[in-house]
Chain A
Amino acid sequence: MIRFEDVTKIYPPSTVGLEKVSLHIEKGEFVFLVGPSGSGKSTFIRLLIKELEPDRGRISVGGRDLATLRNWKVPYLRRNIGCVFQDFKLLTNKTAFQNVMYALVVTGQATGASKKKAAEILSLVGLGHKSNSYPNELSGGEQQRVSIARAFVNHPPLLIADEPTGNLDPETSMGIMQLLYRINKTGTTVLMATHDREMVDRMRRRVVALDVGKVVRDQKRGGYGED
């Protein structure tokens, strides 16, 4: 699903983003990306959605080489990658329902069927009763669930979550995790960057640890620390 080969990204003048990172993530995997701030987690994710270009190395997503992907095709790449962020990134002037719909309208699906789809996915994340609320009327956990609904409504093969529980209390975080877990069960590859030690230890999934831009550990059923 994701293939990094010897990828290096340097931020001018000389800050290391990633250094010689090689990593394969198979279809259907659930992978935690861990490491302290500045270790390269966000760089990894931004490279994946082609928000950044690597200085060296090759990246492919779903068998597609990102280096040869034309700029105008980038939006189509992103429709196949659901993104969830620490700060939710919801459109504040749209309701929960409209936010989810936006991801569908963008792809040219603005039919009755897509409305039904959006309503269904909101119920699935447990927000069926709040679909007409605006983001500022929702709690942090609820907003994150809207953003997950939006990321998943197109059923993308890959879902990326950058610190999705960073702003949430442990209990709410657990709910979000379960949601991501269920999404993974449907066959979607999930890549989650996180600081949340307890969560990683509890889930016992593949853990890739980064430090100063290098992969320092890659464990099949790892914990946050070195055990």
Chain B
Amino acid sequence: MGKISFFLKEAFGSLRRNYFMTIAALVTVFLSIVVLGGVLVFVYTTNALLKEVEQKVEITVFLKTDPDPTTDQVDAMQTKIMGWPEVKSSVFVSKEEALNRLKEDFKDNPEILQDLTGNPLPASFEISLKDPQTVSSVAERFKGDPVVDEVSYGKEIADKLFSFTSQARNFLLGFIVLLGIVAILLISNTIRLSIFARKREVEIMKLVGATNWFIRWPFVIEGVFVGFVGAAAATVVILILNSFLVGKIRNGLPFMAVPLDAVPYVLVVLMLLGVGVVIGAAGSGIGLRRFLKV
């Protein structure tokens, strides 16, 4: 009988004997990690949604109409825009196309466009960016350009959106940290209770001349086991819930385009299991500390 097998036997023996405490600790770990994991998945999904919204920010550059720019000017401008590293794509919308779009938009009420003579609409470039945050600085560059009439990128909307998304990210991050602390406190408290019930046992071990680590190991093994099993159960529940909810949202709100692959599942699963194991082990170790003095 080696030391390790002795420790394992001790650990699982006492898990079985103190089954009520084992279940209490398991449920605590399970619930904490379900909440933690739920928030984590929510954060990843929200983050992906926010990114998608941000991507929708684009710049529209209206060109002067009197006189209309020549084809050469348009080509030169297109080349210039595509030369900027921030730009993902740039689409030229001619006067005719602009009018067609307008007609398309009002096809149910053609009387509105009845009095329209000629084509008063300007040609434009629709520019989308690699990093939406650069929108102001790119828009700035069109100032003073002789063929450009007006640059529109919904300055206020874009700025508000960015400040909202960055606030939302900070808030969620803070929430996760807070939740992690709550989980650690809850779990280490439960484990401490279970150790308190076995105070006498620890006392006797010390009297017989057991070293602190000799006493500690079985408790740590117990903690790791409880943490792992609780976290594993929680992870399964989260994965099932997630795929169920995402399916629901997709059917209910098709325009939201909820990205199912926004969550790096392997990472999240490893993270949750890791948190469970670490919390279990640390909870036991810390919980035991007061009884190991003397």
Contact = CB atoms under 8 A, between A and B. Distances in A.
B14 A102 contact: no
Interface residues of A, number: 21
Nearest to B207: A83
A117 B80 CA distance: 92
Contact of A107 (B201, B207, B209): B209
Interface residues of B, number: 20
A102 B205 CA distance: 8
A113 B211 CA distance: 22
Interface string B72-107: 000000000000000000000000000000000000
A51 B17 contact: no
A110 B209 contact: no
A78 B205 CA distance: 11
A90 B201 CA distance: 8
Nearest to B294: A51
Contacts of A72: 211-212
Contacts of B3: 108, 110
A78 B207 contact: yes
Interface string A162-201: 0000000000000000000000000000000000000000
Given A106-B214, A108-B3, A110-B6, A75 B209 contact: yes
Interface in B143-186: none
Interface in B177-224: 201, 203-212, 214
B219 to A, nearest CB: 15
B207 A89 contact: yes
Contacts of B204: 89-91
Interface string A51-85: 10000000000000000000010011111000100
Interface string A99-118: 00011011110100000000
A93 B207 contact: no
A106 B208 contact: yes
Given A93-B13, A93-B14, A110 B2 contact: yes
Contacts of A78: 206-209
A45 to B, nearest CB: 11
B1 interface: yes
Nearest to A88: B204
A72 B293 CA distance: 11
A150 to B, nearest CB: 7
A75 B210 contact: yes
B208 A150 contact: yes
A47 to B, nearest CB: 12
Contacts of A51: 294
A200 B204 CA distance: 28
A103 B209 contact: yes
Please indicate which of the listed interface residues A77, A90, A93, A150 has the most CB atoms of chain B within 10 Å of its own CB.
Answer: A93
Interface string B1-43: 1110010000001100100000000000000000000000000
Interface of A: 49, 51, 72, 75-79, 83, 89-91, 93, 102-103, 105-108, 110, 150
Interface of B: 1-3, 6, 13-14, 17, 201, 203-212, 214, 294
26 contacts: A49-B207, A51-B294, A72-B211, A75-B214, A76-B209, A78-B207, A78-B209, A79-B208, A79-B209, A83-B207, A83-B208, A89-B203, A89-B207, A91-B201, A91-B204, A91-B205, A93-B13, A93-B201, A102-B205, A102-B208, A103-B209, A106-B209, A106-B210, A106-B211, A110-B1, A110-B2
Chain A to chain B: the 4 pairs with minimum beta-carbon distance, closest first: A79-B209, A78-B209, A106-B210, A75-B211
